[in-house]
Structure 1
Amino acid sequence: MTDGFHRPRRRGVLLLAGLGLALWPVDPTPPPGAALEGVKSRDFLTVHTRNTPLTYYEGRLGPTGFEYELVRRFADYLGVSLTLEDDHNVSSVLASVREQGDLGAAALPLDPATPGVIYTQPVMLMQPIVVYRRGLHPPRTPADLVGLQIGTLKGTGISRVMHELQDSVPELSWKEATDLEIASLLKRVEDGSLDAAVVFEHQFRLNRLFFPEVEDGFKVGEKVAMAWALPDNQGMGLIDAANEFLVTLRASGKLDMLIDRYFGHDDYLEYVGARTFIQHVHGRLPRYEELFREAARRENFDWKLLAAVAYQESHWKPDATSPTGVRGMMMLTNATAEEMNISNRLDPAESIEGGARYLRSIEQRLPEEITGNDRLYMTLAAYNVGLGHLYDARKIVSMLGRDPDRWDDIRDALPLLQESKWYERTRHGYARGSEPVIYVRNIQRYLEILDYVDHNQQQFHQLNARLPDDNDNALFQIVPPKSKG
């Protein structure tokens, strides 16, 4: 089995064809397994998708996204490597599937009437909802939408829902955009360009923390099935394999776990606290961002990780002081500041530098067997509770017959340091072990938000470079009210 990952643009795929690789048989009636045999013979699966946080994007640790996770597992299931073509919107995904194959995975609505493609069984169901700008009179029924400036994304399955709604509310009108993604649509609701939008519930759940001035209204229409699309003239081999893969993944419970991991946590930060965090991202963080970047370069960290730690410690307040005497942006003790050669804990540059250096020193003292995210999360926990208590938690994990190199097991053991029957058997004794668990969880979420904001800012910059904000008429197609005649 291979696990290679390639991400060529369109030119790369055309070059392969130019070299004479027979991607598709010429025979208009190919054998039943033609597409599957083609994938296996060239040893890679080509997937057409969209570069969005909900589907596929380059994250802090490499490629990520719900659809990416699925198609990567499908490629592994077939025993081939994966090639992604992400230079798409929904309509161009379908066009490329028809013209090039192999598979389209881009939050596509299952529509059997789509010419030239055939869909797999549903991957998941998507519930359309109305969202609106905070401060407007809350819409609660379809009739409340009449007269509002409403935006949707074309090709996502929302159009069909809206037209069905218009059958019962003929006065309803809305705008549809092809070249926008969900973040750009919600941004227009927040800044007043639109009054409301109709989006999928899971999209809003994932985005609501980044657009705190957008509220959810009510569910509208029936759920829409998301599915993968394949060309309808290449036999049934590949689609049968895809359906078999999805059935197996669903039966194992792994598909539901993946859906929950990406779309299930709407409340991982208390909402008011999340709104405050976003406000500070735009208000306080810019003053210190370059300091985080400089310290991150010196200690080989992601700057957003250092920023997330600093927010958890001090809410980016350089003069923060705790009752126990820790002070500054990174809340260093006197002893730690001395150890890290920091003379002024209240100087933000020194504090950030000292915190980054201390974080790295903890990481370097962990056993080599701890790797990846397990190593990162244990480092963060030790920054909060101390390395000695982390080692005590590792001892408890071993007593329980579990794996001391896995964060999931350490996370379960840390709160036991509050119970005498456990901490009396450790070297460093009692600790408020629940705190580092919350500490790490919060930093994970802050980091997710910072990654997401950073990614969407890049998307906004790219969008603004080719589509001026003052010409939204060029982005949207207006769907007028139904004629009463």
Structure 2
Amino acid sequence: MNANAVKRSYQLLISTLLVLFLSGCEWTYDDRTELEKIRDSGVLRVGTLNNQLSYYIGPDGPTGLDFELASQFAQSLGVKLEMQPAYTLSGLFPALERGDVDIIAAGLTITKSRLERFRPGPSYYYVSQQLVYKKGHWRPRNLSELNKDGARVAVVEDSSHSLTLQSIQREYPDMIWESEKDTDDDELLKQVADGQLDFTIADSVDIALIQRIHPEITVALELTEDEPVAWFMKKSQDDSVYALMIEFFGKKTQSGELAALEEKYFGHIDSFDYVDTRAFLRAIDNKLPQWEPLFKKYADQFDWRLLAALSYQESHWNPKAVSPTGVRGMMMLTLPTAKSVGVKNRLDPEQSIRGGAEYLHKMLLRVPDSVNENEKIWYALASYNIGFGHMMDARRLTKAQGGNPDSWADVKQRLPLLAKRQYHTQTRYGYARGYEALSYVENIRRYYQSIVGYEQDQAQAIAAEQADDLEGLQTINVEMVEEEEGEGQSDAEDAENQTDESISADEASTAKS
């Protein structure tokens, strides 16, 4: 056989072995787009953070701004939503890189380092970074005083706040801070409130929300301008999902749905009253437990905590409250209103709560169906305060000025105009203290947020205590096992010593013989 024949035979053998090898492997090239993969699986996997803004379990199940948006996006793709909440930032982006999630939706800002590694979607709101401290603690006049008297500063590792400090350090090279990995912004903010930490940095919206349950948190310095918040995806040449995300946010913005969702979750947090919030939190501890059963009993379709917030706004949970205008009781009902809902004694707390809940329900049923279901309650609360007719005047005024009468964000801007002559003289029902109605509704929303946050804090504290108890029990069990093993070992050693002594005695006896 010549050399060419040997070469051809060798090549044929190699080819045959390669075919046999590949046929034994079930390897196939997946040429599906990212969108096709998601639709084939039937699930959109979204990584998020467990907090009051993005995602949390409410009384009616999962809720949160990013949860609602992600639910609607999954629906637009024709698949189910699978939220994968993380308790710390450190696990989110690695999960995206590994392909464990398709999208991150967690209220995260667009930073230079994130742009280098990931692909942001459209910005859907803006936040600024703020340095915070505990009320009563000394306040730094500028960043050069941050480490004064050994003050401790900490931020979440790999967060936008950590990057901000790195940038600031170029101007203040002696500045010292700590980067915490297994934690989140809320935990560090709570440490500031408890006095365990001197300073931290957080986003403005997160700070405003947590002040509802920790009012002692105070802003010291504004560190950045407004920064865009967005969802994130992996960098890829495949635009199948990304293009639909761009289209989704564009439609939500144009329709006003995005603005309505933002109004729902943080449209009420613009103002903050430290004294009022402190007084309310004390009332949650001291007064609410007495009335909670009645709020739950008569809440019906409402969240009982909303009914409780309404009652606090009306009477500060004082069943004997009486105003100069003649309204009285826990829900501060007028005499005609009380008669319309069958309340005979307005100072009887149970009758008052039942009547107030029924009257609010009547107002809710009268709100036009064109209003989004999520926002109907704000119109109903405004009606509870100034009357349904005046609320409708505010809607008509909104429409006349080119606003959307079905958007609470637009209508609430016009409520104060009902007290101005140039406007109320043109309305159907005339003058009304619309500015009070606006404050009334927004206060109730803030009180409601405080009750929700307070309950979450209590639940977390109980869970942490139970975890500590369990850890302590496990430690005790380990110590008991070790002690028992030690006692067993001692018993064995004693038995062995007794055997040795017996053998030694026998040996001695034998030697004597």
What is the TM-score with the length of structure 1 in the denominator? 0.72
3-state DSSP of counterpart to 2:221 = strand
Question: Could you give the per-residue CA deviations for residues 353-391 of structure 1, whole angstroms, max 9, x where no partner exists?
Answer: 332233335545777787724543343334333456667
Counterpart CA distance in 2 for 1:311 and 1:355 is 12
Summarize the Cα distance change of 1:286–1:48 in structure 2 as closer, same or farther, 3 Å threshold.
Answer: same
The corresponding residue for 1:481 is: none
Summarize the Cα distance change of 1:445–1:321 in structure 2 as closer, same or farther, 3 Å threshold.
Answer: same
Q: Does residue 71 in structure 1 map to residue 74 in structure 2? A: no
Q: Give 1:350 shift.
A: 3.5
Residue number among 132, 148, 151 corresponding to 1:148 in the alignment: 151
The corresponding residue for 2:324 is: 323
The corresponding residue for 1:119 is: 119
The corresponding residue for 1:314 is: 315
The corresponding residue for 1:6 is: none
Q: Does residue 106 in structure 1 map to residue 142 in structure 2? A: no
Contact 1:128–1:221 (CA<8 Å) still a contact in 2?
yes
3-state DSSP of counterpart to 1:37 = helix
Q: Give 1:132 shift.
A: 0.9
Contact 1:101–1:231 (CA<8 Å) still a contact in 2?
no
Counterpart CA distance in 2 for 1:340 and 1:256 is 37
Q: Give 1:322 shift.
A: 0.8
Q: Does residue 236 in structure 1 map to residue 238 in structure 2? A: yes
The corresponding residue for 1:218 is: 221
Q: CA RMSD in A?
A: 4.6
Q: Does residue 277 in structure 1 map to residue 276 in structure 2? A: no
Summarize the Cα distance change of 1:352–1:179 in structure 2 as closer, same or farther, 3 Å threshold.
Answer: farther
Summarize the Cα distance change of 1:27–1:199 in structure 2 as closer, same or farther, 3 Å threshold.
Answer: farther
**One-letter amino acid of the counterpart of residue 35, structure 1:** E
Counterpart CA distance in 1 for 2:344 and 2:301 is 23
Summarize the Cα distance change of 1:436–1:43 in structure 2 as closer, same or farther, 3 Å threshold.
Answer: same
Q: Give 1:139 shift.
A: 1.4
Q: Does residue 302 in structure 1 map to residue 335 in structure 2? A: no
**One-letter amino acid of the counterpart of residue 294, structure 2:** L
Summarize the Cα distance change of 1:241–1:179 in structure 2 as closer, same or farther, 3 Å threshold.
Answer: same
- Unpaired runs of 5+ residues, structure 1, are 1-24, 472-485
Residue number among 166, 178, 186 corresponding to 1:183 in the alignment: 186
Q: Give 1:131 shift.
A: 0.8
Contact 1:94–1:117 (CA<8 Å) still a contact in 2?
no
Question: Could you give the per-residue CA deviations for residues 258-298 of structure 1, whole angstroms, max 9, x where no partner exists?
Answer: 796456764345554444434433443333223322232xx
3-state DSSP of counterpart to 2:220 = strand
3-state DSSP of counterpart to 1:86 = strand
Counterpart CA distance in 1 for 2:376 and 2:179 is 46
The structure with the largest helix share of the pair is 2
Q: Give 1:209 shift.
A: 3.5
Alignment map for 1:8-157 (pairs within 5 Å):
31=31, 34-59=33-58, 63-76=62-75, 78-99=77-98, 100-108=100-108, 118-120=118-120, 123=123, 127-146=128-147, 147-157=150-160
Q: Does residue 289 in structure 1 map to residue 288 in structure 2? A: no
Q: Give 1:344 shift.
A: 4.0
**One-letter amino acid of the counterpart of residue 38, structure 2:** V
Question: Could you give the per-residue CA deviations for residues 75-107 of structure 1, whole angstroms, max 9, x where no partner exists?
Answer: 355454432222453222223223323122224
Q: Give 1:47 shift.
A: 0.9
Q: Give 1:179 shift.
A: 3.9
The corresponding residue for 2:507 is: none
**One-letter amino acid of the counterpart of residue 92, structure 1:** G
3-state DSSP of counterpart to 2:320 = coil
The one of the two structures with greater contact order (alpha-carbon pairs below 8 A, sep at least 6) is 1
Contact 1:117–1:231 (CA<8 Å) still a contact in 2?
yes
What is the TM-score with the length of structure 2 in the denominator? 0.69
Q: Give 1:310 shift.
A: 0.9
Alignment map for 1:312-461 (pairs within 5 Å):
312-338=313-339, 340-363=341-364, 372-373=373-374, 375-386=376-387, 412=414, 432=433, 435-461=436-462
3-state DSSP of counterpart to 1:84 = strand
Summarize the Cα distance change of 1:358–1:425 in structure 2 as closer, same or farther, 3 Å threshold.
Answer: closer
3-state DSSP of counterpart to 2:450 = helix
Q: Which has the larger radius of gyration?
A: 2
**One-letter amino acid of the counterpart of residue 280, structure 2:** F
The corresponding residue for 1:14 is: none
Summarize the Cα distance change of 1:37–1:141 in structure 2 as closer, same or farther, 3 Å threshold.
Answer: same
Counterpart CA distance in 2 for 1:259 and 1:467 is 38
Question: Could you give the per-residue CA deviations for residues 320-378 of structure 1, whole angstroms, max 9, x where no partner exists?
Answer: 11112221211123444455454543343343233223333554577778772454334
Counterpart CA distance in 2 for 1:70 and 1:368 is 22
Counterpart CA distance in 1 for 2:231 and 2:406 is 37
Paired positions, count: 440
The corresponding residue for 1:207 is: 210
Summarize the Cα distance change of 1:153–1:396 in structure 2 as closer, same or farther, 3 Å threshold.
Answer: closer
Alignment map for 1:154-173 (pairs within 5 Å):
154-166=157-169, 168-173=171-176
**% identical aligned pairs:** 33
Counterpart CA distance in 1 for 2:156 and 2:262 is 24
**One-letter amino acid of the counterpart of residue 332, structure 1:** L
Counterpart CA distance in 1 for 2:362 and 2:45 is 43
Contact 1:345–1:351 (CA<8 Å) still a contact in 2?
yes
Summarize the Cα distance change of 1:218–1:27 in structure 2 as closer, same or farther, 3 Å threshold.
Answer: farther
3-state DSSP of counterpart to 1:324 = coil
